[in-house]
Amino acid sequence: MSPDLIRLADNLELDRRAYQLRRSGSPVKLSRIPMELLFLLVERRGEMVTRDEIGERIWGKDVFVDQDNNINAAIRKLRQVLDDDPEQPKFIQTVTGRGYRFIAPVPEAPTVTQSEEAVPERPTQNGVFVDRRAVPTPLPPARRLRLILPALAILLVAAGFYFQWFRSRPRPQAAVRLMLAVLPFENLTGDAAQDYFSDGLTEEMIAQLGNLDPQHLGVIARTSVMHYKGTPKKLDQIGSELGVQYVLEGSVRRSSDQVRITAQLIQVKDQSHVWARQYDRGLSNLLTLQGEIAQEVAREIPLRQVDAKAVVLAHQAHQPVHQPTLGPQEYDAYDLYLKGRYFWNKRTPKSLEQAIECFQQAVAKDPNDARAYAGLADSYALLSGYTQTPPTESMPKARAAALKALQLDEGLAEAHTSLALITENFDWDWKTAEKEYRRAIELNPNYATAHHWYAEFLTWQGRFDEAFAESEHARQLDPLSLIIATDHAAILIYSRQYDRAIAQCRTVFDMEPDFLRAHIVAGAYVEKGQFADALADLDHWDDGPWAWAWRAYVYGRAGQQPQARRALEKLQLLYRTQHIGPDPILWAYIGMDDKDETFAWFEKAYSEHSNLLTGLKVNPAYDPLRADPRFQDLLRRVGLAPN
């Protein structure tokens, strides 16, 4: 056997022992984690190793780190080294939602008895003395590795070369990625009806700053910063909650044709004022003014170890300071766009209708306003999820608006994101959807919604490691977003991590007890057999069709068919008197295990392009149906059948 391979095995064992330092507070280097994980999987070859067991082995029980993302990253690196396909693995098999299994054949290391030299007898834990000379004892780890090394030689050498490259690869510059929050600009007009303008200016500044240098500067999304509108919280507390080093705050006062904006940049760690300025401009120069403020900020934040002038020049290339002056029509359209985004962000049935009206008026005044078309696409794309509007009615309108936005401005990340959502939920065109999500993130890596919706897309594909990574990226950009936090819980449910999903939903309820989407926790309770908890959660729902659908579903899964039928009867009455779509009744029949009715309503949902079908591959509620040929046919038609 090659001495180099023996030294490699010994060095790997020394690396493994070095992890004992973790309990004393020494940091675990990310570059070592994949090798520690490899040792664990090989030692337990053929067995499923849970994610919790991996976390305890690498970090210990009392060390709190982002285990999910680190484990996911380690698995990806090992697969890259081994050229292992997660769909058809030769080495590491994913046990969905639970853990991993090393499946490559490895010869067992023999066990030997210790020499016949005298060995002191020692008591076992129950006090019984045994003669250690008579007990087969496994070889020490380093010797055991040498015996199985022929089978693992290629694997270990490849891993060794990989980590040698990993340690020696060019490192990024010392400057870390800074995070900045644009706090809600204060409306100084004295007119609450003008809040949309100050809120819109806040969102515009977030977008401007987010495009400066996404690789080195992250900007917190609107949803999170709006939690601090009118807040008495101190800057150090806000900085800690958002994880930012800098804060931009300011105020706006608008008259008939003039605007005054004050802005100040504050470093959180010592609350020192880095920069402050007041601007007085005509409303026609508002877009130019936003660019000026963003570039002033760029000059003051140490984005990298080179002159910030490079950042400014790059930003100018993408969006020049001297933008065309807005004429009356263009300014009116821009004002309507701000108002439309104000309503869209409220995410209620009424506000979405108001947003559509504002965006429609905006494009009527300025047919070249790409962002107004993107806003219109966003509103129509979400409409069926918040109202009883059928997708067959709203989604074609969403598509037309998104395509028009891209025709006017191909570089608009929001429009690519909208088109991705439409092709995913309505067309089930998974290839195009992924291409559009990736393009949106390429154009604007700081656009939290693109990461959020892309995480959902990856979930429907069963690509949970990638989904968790995108969800975490969205959370970093929008840490107080309730919908991002809740959809993270949804990924946990679909990956069969029910306890963690329940804990995540409770965290959301701690932030906002009335956030309806977080009641997906009922699904996690059902999968754990905690039907009483699921029904208790349903007591917090309104009296709408989905509440009755879930009651029928939970009672059916619990085997309480009389209660399930009563809930179904109530639901059917609503269906006859209101247009509620097929989804709630389909859900009720799934829970009641009526397969013929279930597939009849699946066909109705399919004909209406229901986005309930996007979860066919991963939703545990569908598990009892998977062996049915009708289900496999449906999977194929929706494009989710295995290749």
Would you list the DSSP string of 586-638?
HHHHHHHT-HHHHHHHHHHHHHTT-GGGGGTTT-GGGGGGTTSHHHHHHHHHT
Other Cβ atoms within 10 Å of 114 Cβ, number: 12
Residues 178-325: name the CATH superfamily: TolB, N-terminal domain (3.40.50.10070)
Confidence of residue 332 (pLDDT cuts 50, 70, 90): confident
CA 206 to chain centre: 20
Closest listed residue to residue 402, CA positions, set 387, 384, 417, 424: 417
CA–CA separation, 264 vs 274, rounded Å? 8
List Cβ neighbours of 457 (8 Å cut-off, separation of 6 or more). Answer: 420, 424, 430, 433, 434, 437
CA–CA separation, 357 vs 164, rounded Å? 59
Within 89-210, where are the H helices?
141-168, 195-210
Confidence of residue 98 (pLDDT cuts 50, 70, 90): confident
What tens digit of pLDDT does each residue of 43-86 get? 888 788 888 888 888 777 654 455 666 787 788 778 777 778 77
Query: Which tokens sit at 352?
Result: 């979405």
Q: What is the mean pLDDT of the chain?
A: 80
Closest listed residue to residue 402, CA positions, set 363, 438, 448: 363
E strand or H helix at 585: helix 583-592
Query: Which tokens sit at 270?
Result: 């010592």
- The strand pair at 258-267 and 178-182 is best described as unpaired
Using a pLDDT cut of 90, give the percent of the chain over it. Answer: 40
What tens digit of pLDDT does each residue of 525-562 get? 999 999 999 999 998 888 889 999 999 999 999 999 99
Give the mean pLDDT of 168-191: 71
What tens digit of pLDDT does each residue of 273-296 get? 888 888 888 877 777 778 888 888
Question: Above 50 in pLDDT, residue 115?
Answer: no
CA–CA separation, 519 vs 522, rounded Å? 6
Confidence of residue 447 (pLDDT cuts 50, 70, 90): very high
Closest listed residue to residue 460, CA positions, set 438, 437, 486, 430: 430
Question: Above 90 in pLDDT, residue 208?
Answer: no
Question: So where are the chain's domains?
Answer: 3-112+138-168, 178-325, 542-643
User: Helices 328-344 and 286-300 meet at what angle, rounded to 10?
Assistant: 60
Question: Above 80 in pLDDT, residue 121?
Answer: no
More confident residue, 639 or 31: 639
CA end-to-end span of the chain, whole Å? 42
Would you list the DSSP string of 412-457?
-HHHHHHHHHHHHHTS--HHHHHHHHHHHHHH-TT-HHHHHHHHHH
- Lowest-confidence pick of 64-68, 235-239, 609-613, 635-639: 64-68
Q: What is the pLDDT of residue 418?
A: 94
Confidence of residue 615 (pLDDT cuts 50, 70, 90): very high
- Angle made by CA atoms 539, 544, 548, in degrees to the nearest 5: 65
Domain spanning 3-112+138-168: CATH 3.40.50.261: no
What tens digit of pLDDT does each residue of 371-391 get? 999 999 999 998 888 887 889
More confident residue, 514 or 358: 358
The predicted model scores a pTM of 0.67
- Where residue 505 falls (left for φ over 0; alpha for ψ -120 to 50; beta otherwise) is alpha
Q: What is the pLDDT of residue 629?
A: 96
Q: What is the pLDDT of residue 83?
A: 75
Q: What is the pLDDT of residue 453?
A: 96
List Cβ neighbours of 327 (8 Å cut-off, separation of 6 or more). Answer: 284
- The strand pair at 258-267 and 272-282 is best described as antiparallel
71-85, 98-112, 190-204, 427-441: which is most confident: 427-441
